[in-house]
């Protein structure tokens, strides 16, 4: 079963099914970290026999997903908040897939904790957000997203910078202490500091929320930027930052993911819902939405555009 785990860093469990039971056969180490459940609590146990924790227990959802697998329908998706034994509820996407003969099925259930992304999306729906990003355990910035106007800075270059390098030197010690206090308190906090982006500086107001795995270990901080005002009288255009009147040009592949994210937020449609409704794989939808796939195949683009009520040209420009 280790072959199933070798190709994914996601939380994965293997379930063996027969006519009247669904038994946990193996779990990846990432699953134990994410949920806080130990192998001795799970291996060899029937899903239906596992104890329910809190208002949104995990096991009944997995059990229903597994029971829905048939020879005609070999995959199933779900998303929900889940309660673990030792942490606050987490928002997860689940994907169950048959990896053997459905009549004597072995199912692989992949669970992705999307709590920080869900929190960011909720913030975007409630406020006007300039940008969002994640601060990793290695103190690097990843997953930078822009809203309403595009970010003109090279995000690859930004991702190579350590967290401290985004803050001017005189503010670094204070911001570092605030972050450490926030992680210890597990609360959401507001930060005001002078942001450094290469040669440009901005007065910045942001909200930061730390997130943790089910075993209690720190996972990341989610950051939403509410305001960015140029410092020292710097003209916004000279700083190469987007202004309130900036627009995204139709058909620009670099901005297609930006437009798709905004459209999905406007429609209140999750990645899982879009995958289910279009019958496109969850991985493909995620890669398009995150910009890893710049321009999907024509049929894929049409299915997504039709589901969201727009034309392909609105998102990716003309297809020839």
pLDDT digits (tens, 9 = 90+) for 94-118: 989 888 765 668 999 999 999 998 8
Check: CATH 1.10.260.40 for 253-316? yes
For tokens 């609105």, name the residue: 314
Q: Is residue 94 within 8 Å of 111, Cβ to Cβ?
A: yes
- What are the two backbone dihedrals, phi and then psi, of residue 99, each rounded to the nearest 5 degrees? -115, 15
Q: Using one digit for the tens of pLDDT, what is the confidence trace for 279-308?
A: 998 878 888 887 788 889 999 999 999 999
Structure tokens at 225: 């930027």
| Residue of 129, 132, 131 whose CA lies nearest to 116 | 132
Question: In percent, how much of the chain has pLDDT > 70?
Answer: 86
> Cα–Cα distance between 182 and 159 in angstroms, integer?
23
CATH superfamily of 116-230: PAS domain (3.30.450.20)
Tell whether the model's pLDDT for residue 183 goes beyond 50: yes
Q: Is the pLDDT of residue 65 over 50?
A: yes
The CATH topology of domain 2-113 is: Beta-Lactamase (3.30.450)
Place of tokens 């929320």: 209
Percent of the chain with pLDDT over 90: 37
Cα(104)–Cα(106) distance, integer angstroms: 7
pLDDT at 3: 62
CATH 1.10.260.40 in the chain, residue ranges:
253-316
Residues of the chain with CATH 3.30.450.20: 2-113, 116-230
- Residue 233: per-residue pLDDT: 55
- Enter the DSSP assignment of 197: E
Of the pLDDT bands very low, low, confident and very high (cuts 50, 70, 90), residue 150 is: low
């Amino acid at each position: 079963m280790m072959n199933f785990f070798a190709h994914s860093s996601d939380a994965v469990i293997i379930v063996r099914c027969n006519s009247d039971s669904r038994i946990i056969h193996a779990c990846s180490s990432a699953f134990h970290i994410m949920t806080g459940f130990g192998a001795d609590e799970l291996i060899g146990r029937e899903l239906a026999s596992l104890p329910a924790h809190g208002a949104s227990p995990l096991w009944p959802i997995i059990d229903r997903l597994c029971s829905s697998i048939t020879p005609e329908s070999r995959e199933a998706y779900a998303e929900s908040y889940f309660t673990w034994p030792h942490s606050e509820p987490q928002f997860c996407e689940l994907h169950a897939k048959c990896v053997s003969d459905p009549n004597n099925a072995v199912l692989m259930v992949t669970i992705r904790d999307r709590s920080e992304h869900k929190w960011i999306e909720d913030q975007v729906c409630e406020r006007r957000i300039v940008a969002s990003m994640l601060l990793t355990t290695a103190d690097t910035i990843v997953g930078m997203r822009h809203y309403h106007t595009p970010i003109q800075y090279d995000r690859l270059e930004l991702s190579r910078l350590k967290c401290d390098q985004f803050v001017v030197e005189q503010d670094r010690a204070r911001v570092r202490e605030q972050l450490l206090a926030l992680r210890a308190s597990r609360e959401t906090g507001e930060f005001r500091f002078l942001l450094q982006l290469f040669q440009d500086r901005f007065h910045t107001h942001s909200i930061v929320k730390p997130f943790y795995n089910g075993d209690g270990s720190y996972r990341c901080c989610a950051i939403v930027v509410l305001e960015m005002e140029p410092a020292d009288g710097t003209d916004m255009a000279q700083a190469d930052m987007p202004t309130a009147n900036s627009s995204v040009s139709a058909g620009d592949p670099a901005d297609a993911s930006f437009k798709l994210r905004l459209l999905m937020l406007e429609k209140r449609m999750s990645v899982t819902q879009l995958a289910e409704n279009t019958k496109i794989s969850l991985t493909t939808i995620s890669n398009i939405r995150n910009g890893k796939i710049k321009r999907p195949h024509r049929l894929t683009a049409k299915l997504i555009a039709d589901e969201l009520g727009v034309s392909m040209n609105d998102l990716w420009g003309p297809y020839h």
